[in-house]
Structure 1
Amino acid sequence: MTHPSTRLRSGVVAALTTALLAVPAAGGAAGSLPPAAPAVEQPSPSPSGDEVRELTPAVRRQLDAAVQRVMREANVPGVTVGVWTPDRGAYVKSFGVADRNTGRAMTPNLSMRIGSETKTFTVTALLELVDQGRIGLDDTIGQYVEGVPNGDRITLRQLAGMRSGLFNYSEDEGFFKALTSDPYRPFTPRQLLDYAFRHPVLFQPGEKFSYCNTNLILLGLVVERISGRSLADYINDTILDPAGLDHTLFPTGSEFPTPHAQGYTDQTATGRVEDAADWNPSWGWAAGAMISRLGDLRVWARTVATGQLPNGDRLISPALQKERLTTPSTPIPGSGYGLGIFDVQGWIGHNGSLPGYESLTVHLPSVQATLVVVLNTDIDHRGQEPSTLFGNAITKIISPDHVFDLPAQPAAR
C-alpha cells in the first residue's frame, strides 16, 4: 500500500510528482453518507465558443447525471460545480451535504480550502516583483535564502516550474508523523524546509519535472524578503484586492470564514476518516494554505490564465505572462507545467488538495470558458483524486475535444 505521506502534497500535480496534485493517504474508507441533500442551483450570468457545447437543458441534465455518478462512485459528501461561457450559458449547481452530522446542504456560497491553488497566487506575487525589476527569474535561490542544497544553481524559474530537484518536505516520514499526531499545530516555513533539506537532492536543477511543495515555500520567503512584508499581506494587497477577490484569504492560522463546508479526510495517524475543517493549514503555507469561494475562483481562473484583471488592467505584463504559460511537458501525456500553472488539454489553471478538501480551477482561453469544482473530501477513489474525476466527467460533456485528463501516477518517495 502507498504510504500516506506520498499524498501530502497540498494540491496539484500531486499526481504530477512525476504526476498532478494533492495531500497524505493513510488508507481507510469513508463511512456511509447520509441521504444526499437536494441539489442547490444558483442562477448565474452567462459570461464564448465553438469548442464548448451550448448548455441547453439536455446538457444540464447530462451534467447533473455525471456529477451525481462521480459522487456515488467516489463517496463524495458534497460538491459545487460552476461552468461559465460568454455566449453558451452557465451552470452553477451544488450537490450533497456540507456537513455529514447535520445534513446541511452544500451551497455555492461556502468557503473552501483550496490547497495547491495557492501556488498560483504565490507565483503571481513573485512575477509581480519580476515585472517591477526587483528580482529576476534566473536569479538563484541562494541569493535570497541560505542553506538550500544546490542553492547557487537552482533558479527562481526552476522553483516555479517544478524543476529544482529538491526533495518534497511533505513526503518526509518525520513530517507526516508530526502533522498527523497533532494536525492543529503550526509549522514555520523554516521547519518545513528542514524536513526537505535532510534529504539529498533528487536530480540536478532543470534536469526534469518533479512536483515539490518545497519550491513554493522558498518562493514565499523570496516574496517576503524582497517586498519587506508578510506573504499574506502582500498577496492580499497586490492580488486579491485588485482582482476583487473579497472572499479569498491567506490564513495566518486555522481561521476559516463562515459559512464553510466541513471537510472529510483519511489523512490521519490511524487512517480513520475525520473532519479536518479546523486543522491548521500552515504546513502548506505558500504551497497550499489559502481559502476561497466558487465565485472568486471563477474570477481568478480567467485572471491567472490571461494576466488581466477584471477591469482590464494588467496584473502581469504580456511578456511575462507569455513566459508563465510556456508549459514544458510533464510525465502525463497532454499536460504541461509552466510557472506555477498547468495546461491540461488546453485547460489552463491549477487543482488543489488539502486534508478534507479538493478543488479544480481552470480556464479554456480559446473559447473563454471557465470550470470550477470544489468539494469537501480529499479521499482518493481507486487511486484517483475526486476533483480530477469530476473535471474529466464534466469536460467530456462540455468540451469533448478538450477533456481534462490527469491519470494518477506514483508519487516520488
Structure 2
Amino acid sequence: MTHSSMRLRRGAVTAVAAGMLLVPLAGGAAFAQGTAVPGVSAATDPPVAPGTVRELTPAVAKQLDEAVQRVMTEAKVPGVSVGLWTPDKGQYVRAFGVADKATGQKMSTDLYTRIGSETKTFTVTALLQLVDQGKVGLDDPIGKYVTGVPNGDKITLRQLAEMRSGLFNYSADEGFYKALTTNPDKPFTPQQLLDYAFKHPVLFAPGAQFSYCNTNLILLGLVVEKQSGQTLADFVQEHVLTPAGMHKTLFPKGAEFPEPHAQGYTMQTASGKVEDSADWNPSWGWAAGAMISTLDDLRIWAPTVATGVFPDGKPMVGAATQKERIDTIKTTIPGAGYGLGIFRVQGWTGHNGSLPGYESLTIYLPEAKATLVVVLNTDTDYKGAEPSTVFGEAITKIASPGNVFNLPAQAAAR
C-alpha cells in the first residue's frame, strides 16, 4: 500500500506500476499526506480505542454509505465495491456506481478486478515458501540466481522484497511508458522489463534507503521460477491460491479477464484522454502487478497474508519466516513501514494495488481481526492521492478512528 502498486504515471518514481502500492501503470499506492477526505470527520461517539472497530450498526453503515458516496462524487470514481468484515462487530459490504459507463451496468460485489501491486504479496509469499524449503536464502545475492543485474553480487533477495535494492524502476523509464501506452495490447517478457531498468545507473547502494520499485519483483519472480521448476503462475496457484480457497484469483497468461468484470478507466494513455483499459495486456506488471481477483477472495487473502496462516489453520509460511515478512522497516512515509512485500500503516497490515483503470486496497487490523477491502474502476488521482487511499481513510475514520489508514502520497512510479 504504501507505494503504489504499479502505476505508470509519467514523472514519479516512487510507487510502482502494477501492483501498486502505487504503480502508475501498475501500481500500488500513492498517498498524499494530509489528504482531506471529502466531508468526512472521525466518528467520536462512543470512543473507539486503537486496535478496535466500531459496531457496524445500521447508523454506522449509513455514515459509511454517505462517506463512500461523497468520495465517489468528489473524486469522480465511476464504481467502487467495499467490504469491511469483523468477527464480532458485524460487516459492511456494498457496491456503488457503475461498472461500465457505456452500458450503465451497475457495480456489484462479485466482479473480477485487476489488483496491480497486490500481486507483490503473492510473489513474495512464493519466495518465502522456497526459503522455508531451503531452496533460497533471503540474504543470498540476486546474482546467484539471475545474471546481468547491476550490483547483483551485493543486492540480496531481502533487499529486493523490502524495496531497498537501489535498482531503477523499469516502469519509470520513458521508453517503456511510450511502448506501453502506444500499444497497450503488447506483451512484455520479464527480460524486456529488466532491460528497461538496467540501462539506468543504480540509484543508491543496496540497503541504503527505501524506494518502491517494480524491477525488484520481476527479479524475485524469476528466482521463484528457477528454484521451483514451475512457472510463477503455476507455483502461486498450487501452493498459495488453491490451499487458501481463493478460487476466483488468477495469474493471467495474457490479456484474459474473466467475466463478470468492471471496465477500467484511466488517463495513463498516449492521448492523455480517458480510455477503457479492461483489455490491456498486464504482462508488463507480471510478478509485480498482473494478477486478478475479487472482493470475496481478497477478503480471504487479507488475514492469510497478514498472519501467514491459511484459513484451515495450516501454515502458509513458517512462523519465523512470517515474522521476518511483517517486521516492517520505517519508510519516508509517516506512520508507514514496509516489510517483505507488505506494509503496515497506522496498525493496518496489507498492500494496495494500482494498474491503469483499476485500484485496490486489502488490509487487516490484527487486534480486531478486521478486514477491509476496496476495489474501484479508475486510477485517476484525487488531489494528489490515489482514490483507494482516500476511500480507505474515509472508511477507517468512521469504523476504526483509533487506526485511520492514510498513506502519504509518493510519486507513483510512472
TM-score exceeds 0.5 = yes
Shift >4 Å, 4+ stretches: none
Matched, 1:162 2:163: yes
The one-letter code sitting in structure 2 at the alignment partner of 1:14 is L
For 1:230, the equivalent position in structure 2 comes to 231
1:91 alignment partner in structure 2: 92
Which residue number corresponds to residue 270 of structure 1?
A: 271
SS across alignment from 1:370 = strand
- TM-score normalised per structure 1: 0.91
Matched, 1:317 2:325: no
Alpha-carbon distance in 2 for matches of 1:3, 1:257: 26
User: 1:410: how far off?
Assistant: 3.3
Residue 30 (structure 1) aligns with? none
**Which residue is equivalent to 1:221?**
222
Q: For the aligned residues, what is the CA RMSD?
A: 1.8
TM-score by length of 2: 0.90
- Give ranges in structure 2 of 5+ residues lacking alignment: 1-7, 31-49
Contact 1:373 1:387 in 2 (8 A): yes
The Cα of 1:270 is off from its aligned counterpart by 1.2
CA distances 1:223-243 after superposition (whole Å, capped 9, x unpaired): 000001110001000000000
Q: Which residue of 2 aligns with 1:124?
A: 125
Shift of 1:21: 2.0
| Match in the other structure for 2:22 | 14
Corresponding residue number in structure 2 for 1:386: 387
Q: CA deviation at 1:9?
A: 1.7
Partner of 1:31: none
Deviation track 1:165-210 (CA, whole Å, cap 9, x = no partner) reads 0000000000000000100000000000000000000000000100
- Partner AA of 2:184 in structure 1: P
- Secondary structure at 2:389 match in 1: helix
Specify the SS of the correspondent of 2:272: coil
User: Which amino acid in structure 1 is aligned with residue 173 of structure 2?
Assistant: D
Deviations 1:251-290 (A, max 9, x none): 0100000000000000001110000000000000000000
Equivalent positions of 1:107-256 (< 5 A) are 107-256=108-257
Go from structure 1 to structure 2 and tell me whether the alpha carbon gap of 1:382 and 1:126 turns closer, same or farther (over 3 Å shift).
same
Q: Is the alpha carbon distance of 1:3 and 1:231 closer, same or farther for their aligned partners in structure 2, counting shifts above 3 Å?
A: closer
Q: Which amino acid aligns with 2:22?
A: A
Number of equivalences = 385
Output the CA distance in 2 between the equivalents of 1:52 and 1:349. Answer: 17
Q: Distance in 2 between matches of 1:361 and 1:165?
A: 27
Distance 2:413 2:257 in 1: 31
Secondary structure of the corresponding residue to residue 4 of structure 1 = coil
For 1:11, give the aligned amino acid. Answer: G
Cα deviation code 1:12-64 (max 9, x no counterpart): 33389xx9627xxxxxxxxxxxxxxxxxxxxxxxxxx9711000111000000
User: Which amino acid is 2:226 matched to?
Assistant: R
**Letter of the 1:340 counterpart:** G
Checking the alignment, whether the CA contact within 8 Å between 2:9 and 2:268 is kept in structure 1 is no
Verify the 8 A CA contact 1:20 1:408 in the aligned structure 2: no
Residues 396 and 405 of structure 2 are in contact (CA less than 8 Å); yes or no, is this contact kept in structure 1? yes
Specify which of 4, 9, 19 is matched with residue 10 of structure 2: 4
| Structure 1 unaligned residues grouped into runs of 5+ | 23-48
Distance in 2, matches of 1:138 and 1:120, equals 19
Shift of the 252–361 alpha-carbon distance from structure 1 to 2, 3 Å rule, reads same
Partner of 1:373: 374
Structure 1 residue 409 displacement after superposition: 2.8
SS in 1 for 2:390: helix
* SS of 2:330 mapped into structure 1: coil
Q: Structure 2 vs 1, CA of residues 374 and 411 (structure 1 numbering), >3 Å: closer, same or farther?
A: closer
| C-alpha displacement of 1:119 | 0.1
